[in-house]
Amino acid sequence: MNKKHTTRICLLFISSLFFCNISATAQNKTGLVCGVLPSEINSEIYFGINLADFKNVIGSNLKLETKSNTDFRLIYSQETNLKEISSVIYYFDNENSKPLYEVIINYQNEEQAKKAATILFGQPNFDQIDWRIKIQGAPEIWSWVYKNKLVVVAKIPGSEWFNEWDKE
């Protein structure tokens, strides 16, 4: 092997270690592996993020929905300039650190929502219409399409869905 070839191999190896370390750090921080939310959602958003950190990531492009008549959750919406996605709704538990446990992506139509779900999760693997995803070391994910909405929920202790998870 010549010196140039050896140097390239060493650089590739060091680069791969660097990127694996970044990936592991991101996974430990978020508790989730990439791919449970569409790429259009800010990659710093993850299930379980507390409301204060979420607001720091999103900034001022956020609106508290006051029309909700439930006191167990906080609902925030975010309008987008995206062609296919008109808005994103975020549900936070209203206790403790107020973790994010549900994201609803509003597409222009049902076909776009189904296409996005299939790209993210493949074919439905639960009841022929839902997706249940288990990722080691992360909250379980439950997802479905309702009309033009892609709903993605995480099994976060204390949240609205936590006790319903195993009933179906």
Q: At residue 31, does pLDDT exceed 90? A: no
- % the chain with pLDDT above 90: 54
Whole-number average pLDDT of the chain: 80
Amino acid found at 154: A
Distance CA 5, CA 87 (A): 50
- Model confidence at 22, pLDDT cuts 50, 70, 90, reads very low
Reported as a pLDDT band with limits 50, 70 and 90, residue 50 is very high
Structural domain spans, the chain: 1-30, 32-164
pLDDT beyond 80 at 33:
no
Q: What pTM did the predictor assign?
A: 0.77
